[in-house]
Structure 1
Amino acid sequence: MKNKTDFFIGLALLVFCGVMAHQIYLLPPPAGNDFFTAGSFPTGVTAALAVLSLLLVFRSLRAAPGGAAACWPEREIFVRVALMGVWIILYVIGFIMLGDMAYDAEWPEGTGFTLSTLAFLVGAQFITGYRNIFKIVLISIAIAAFLYVVFAMLFKVPLP
């Protein structure tokens, strides 16, 4: 094995693809004979990710061009990756809990999702190293507003 990082990230992504395939399998069958169903997009994304993950695993097994094997990422990068993983889990928990709280308090639909997305984006930018507060807040507000407009208003998807 020439690149341990790529190998294990590729394996982790393949496991993730397996979980996604199982979740897609659990979707209810379509009512009609439509070619595109609720599972079409996630199936395509999962298949593409699985193919790219396999390529990453196979590439990691080949010899590096310079002959030197790549090693694990430095401690600082590993800590950032681990923090981002924890932050994503907290984000999902946050928008579920805030969504329930917003529903119970009869706040407008999507309040929990929007607030947790704002907090997630601010934190994610700090974790990745951005430090310009003005740009962080501006980017977070713009992305949260864009997601709200596209999903809640345009596609009429109920947000938590």
Structure 2
Amino acid sequence: MNPRRKRRLTVVVALLAGLGVTVGLILYAMNQNMDLFYTPTELVQGKSDGTKPEVGQRLRIGGMVVKGSVSRDPNSLQVSFRVADVGPEVTVRYDGILPDLFREGQGIVAQGVLVDATTVEAHEVLAKHDEEYMPPEVAEAMQKNHKPLEYTDQQKQGSVQ
């Protein structure tokens, strides 16, 4: 093989190897910073494609704060509350100051780590802006999982009379 061709081949192979390593490192870094969104039902039962988060995985969970579920530690900023959509409830623990708009019965999104099958240790809690707002992921998931009420013919006739 010609020395000039050998040098070109070496340069091309080195560039391709460098490009491959760079792309691999970028994908690895992106995977480490990815937080998947789950509703409480998806967290407990798994998503429709069968994926379930593992203990220790970073994630985001969104739903409505269950009324009467907020408990605060009197000696620290530790807060615990339950979040639900249309299915099971998930406990969220948070150590910090909650947003001013946080209250029972409203939609929230919490980012954190899965501690066990139904408990999330949050490092950030986001609350909705006003009465009409709901995080898009929560609205979509609740719309998908929500089953509209079906009335019988007698109930329909009773409401008309």
TM bin, normalised by shorter chain, reads under 0.3
* TM-score, length of structure 2 as denominator length: 0.20
Larger radius of gyration: 2
* TM-score, length of structure 1 as denominator length: 0.20
Q: Higher RCO, 1 or 2 (CA under 8 Å, sep at least 6)?
A: 1
Structure richer in strand, relative to its length: 2
